[in-house]
Every structure is written in C-alpha cells, then in structure tokens.
C-alpha cells in the first residue's frame, strides 16, 4: 500500500516554492499575519480551481470535511470563509501574478519543441481578448456599459503548447488595440492579431523592434500597389502584392512597405486579405499563421469551461486579479506535469482525474496513467491539447 503524499500535495510539488517564498517576502504578504499565510491562501485557491469549487462557502465546506488531511495538503492555517475573503481582499495580487509568470517560464522551456503546424522555427504568438460579464452594482471598478460591468483578459498566447505568456486584466472599456502599447516586442517573433488590433503606428513599433506581424486588412483600408508576385490560383491565392499606405495619417504611422495577400478560402468561399511585414515566407504560410490564431479562441473557451474565472470569490479588483492569476498558475502547473510525466492525453482529462482524487494516496504518475481515458490518446499531441 502506498504511504506517500496525497495527490494534491504531489501536484503542488511541481511548483517552485522557493520563488513563491521570495515573492511573499518582496511584497510583505505575510506581514502581521498570525495564522492564514499566503501559502495557505494559494493552496486553498488552487484546490478550488482543481476541484471546481464555486464559492468561499463551498471551499470551506469541502476542506472542512477532511480536517485531518489539511496538514498533508500543505495547509497550516484555519480555513474559513472570512480568512480567505480577507486574504483575497488584502494580499497583494502581484505575488500570484509573478508566481504564475515563473511557472510560465518553466512551461515555455518544456514546450519549446512542440510542433506548430507550420514549417517555422521562430516563436509565434496570438494576441486577443475575452470579456467576462459582471454585475455593475458589485464591481464598480470595472465599468463596461450603462448597466453592466465586465473585465477583459487580454492574452498573448505562445502557440507552442498554448502557454499564455502575457495577460492584462482591465475593465471592459479598454479597447484591444491599446494593449499593443504594453507588450515588449521580441525580435524575430511573429505576432498574429485580428482586425481589432489594426493600428499602423503601433504595428510599426513591432516592425522597428525586428518583430513580424500578421493581421487582416479592414474593408476601408487604402493601398497603392507597387509589385505583384505570381501566385498559384488553384491553392486559393488571388494575389500577393507589395503595397504602401495611401491615407495620409496611416502612411505617417507606417511609412514603409507592406505585403498584402488576398486569399479565397475554398471551404467557406470567403475572401480574406492579410497584411504582414514579412516578405520572405510563402503566401500560404502567412495564411496558415493567421489560421493558427484560432488557438487563442480555443484557450479562452477552455479556461472559461474548466477553470473558475466566470464567478469570482470576491468583488474587489485585488480579489479578482488574485483569482485569475491563481487559475492561470494552476493551468500552467498542470501543463508542466503533463510534459514532465510525458503524458499523451489532454489537460481536460488530467483535470477531470485530479478533481475527484485530491485526498487519495496514490502515486501521481500511476493515477494519471491508470485512469486516463484510452480513447483520448492523441496522434498529434499539439492538435487538441486544450480540449
């Protein structure tokens, strides 16, 4: 009989706790705290994410049902609704933000060789946002419309492994294009964005940093054709051109040449016009890069379905950001375990198993392999990593 650690404790062993302790010291998270530490808070919030708890009362009841096992989960303080609510309100959310960033750094190194779907060795990012509707009477700090509040999660997703590398949490009124000002462009990387981010001055900043972008042109965009490249129309390509902007302010924002590719999707018969500052890649590869942007939509759908970020345990900005970053940390931690244990099934299957076994005493690798649904084994591990 296995006499080792509980499953939840084994999962938490994969986190860099020396980094967590350093961050708690940096932000004085445990200053004047007697019993319920930042570690206790994080473990309770991570437990809520893994086991699909819906409220503070739910967390308290579930953990209170196993009082003899709390010590073995790593929780030393007394778990109560008031203690957890006070911690979410008062402990600096940047502790959990920077801890999630540390986990993201580990995960990106593990997934660096994941297949991308296109013949490209560079890093490819997809940038997009999703909106979470809230009650304006409770979330006054997040106005959206006259009678509605909302928060936006602006996410930069590394398409190798679907790892979020940047998340900015804002109120619902912040326009997506403003998030480009918050990015630190990576030279040689590709940034794939939709038409909501079409701001030529901001895209020129990416260009000057040595980065590449792929986006779609708006219907009212005006260009002057300079060069036309021959294309194979049987592939769906209509034209591949070198152009420059003709509208005065657009040309001021982006004074250099652009590549314009018109493509007719053979499946939907829809005509798409792509813009990029990369003149070396084949035109079809540019189209495939833009198509890969769908991964960020799948990521948003996945985290809304499988993590607790649509219903919040607190109403303050600090509590919301703490919960979101804890959810991100749990997502990335499970992705790290999947890679380190060399598991071939999806994160969804892993979370389903972990959600019902946190108090079991079974070796983690044995548990995940024995309970893994055989029919979800993937021929292409990157294809449905989120689903």
pLDDT for 3 equals 62
pLDDT for 120 equals 85
pLDDT for 369 equals 87
Distance CA 196, CA 216 (A): 9
Indicate the burial class of 278 (C-beta count within 10 angstroms; 0-12, 13-18, 19 or more).
middle
pLDDT for 383 equals 43
pLDDT for 305 equals 87
pLDDT for 117 equals 76
Collect the ranges in the chain with pLDDT lower than 70.
1-3, 374-387
pLDDT for 56 equals 94
pLDDT for 379 equals 43
Q: Which domains does the chain have, with CATH numbers?
A: 7-97+316-376 (no CATH), 208-284 (2.20.25)
pLDDT for 146 equals 83
pLDDT for 311 equals 87
Condensed to tens digits (0 to 9), the pLDDT of residues 370-384 reads 887 765 444 444 444
Other CB atoms within 10 Å distance of the CB of residue 110: 15
pLDDT for 2 equals 61
pLDDT for 344 equals 85
pLDDT for 387 equals 40
pLDDT for 176 equals 93
Condensed to tens digits (0 to 9), the pLDDT of residues 243-291 reads 999 999 999 999 999 999 999 988 888 999 999 999 999 999 999 999 9
């Amino acid at each position: 009989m296995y006499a080792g650690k509980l499953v939840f404790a084994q999962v938490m062993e994969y986190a860099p706790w020396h980094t967590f302790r350093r961050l708690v010291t940096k932000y004085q998270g445990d200053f004047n705290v007697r019993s319920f530490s930042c570690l206790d808070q994080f473990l309770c919030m991570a437990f809520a994410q893994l086991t699909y708890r819906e409220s503070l009362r739910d967390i308290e009841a579930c953990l209170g049902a196993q009082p003899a096992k709390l010590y073995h989960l790593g929780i030393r303080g007394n778990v109560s609704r008031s203690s957890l609510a006070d911690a979410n309100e008062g402990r600096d959310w940047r502790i959990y933000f920077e801890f999630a960033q540390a986990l993201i750094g580990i995960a990106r190194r593990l997934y660096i060789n994941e297949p991308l779907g296109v013949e490209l060795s560079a890093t490819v990012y997809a940038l997009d946002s999703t909106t979470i509707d809230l009650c304006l009477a409770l979330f006054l700090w997040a106005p959206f419309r006259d009678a509605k509040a909302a928060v936006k999660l602006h996410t930069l997703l590394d398409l190798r492994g679907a790892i979020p590398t940047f998340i900015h949490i804002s109120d619902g009124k912040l326009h997506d294009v403003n998030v480009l000002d918050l990015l630190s462009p990576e030279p040689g990387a590709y940034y794939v964005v939709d038409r909501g981010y079409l701001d030529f001055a901001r895209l020129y900043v990416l260009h000057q940093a040595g980065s590449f972008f792929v986006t779609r042109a708006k219907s009212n965009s005006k260009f002057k054709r300079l060069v036309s490249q021959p294309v194979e129309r049987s592939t769906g390509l209509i034209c591949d051109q070198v152009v420059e902007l003709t509208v005065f302010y657009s040309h001021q924002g982006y004074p250099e040449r652009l590549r314009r590719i018109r493509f007719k999707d053979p499946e939907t018969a829809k005509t798409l016009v792509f813009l990029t500052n990369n003149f070396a890649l084949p035109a079809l590869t540019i189209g495939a890069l833009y198509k890969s942007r769908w991964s960020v939509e799948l990521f948003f759908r996945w985290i809304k379905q499988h993590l607790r970020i649509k219903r919040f345990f607190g109403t303050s900005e600090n509590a919301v950001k703490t919960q979101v970053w804890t959810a991100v940390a749990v997502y990335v931690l499970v992705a790290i375990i999947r890679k380190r244990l060399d598991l071939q099934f999806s994160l969804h299957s892993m979370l389903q198993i972990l959600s019902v076994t946190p108090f079991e005493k079974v070796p983690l690798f044995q548990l995940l392999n024995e309970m893994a649904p055989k029919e979800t084994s993937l021929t292409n591990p990157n294809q449905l990593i989120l689903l």
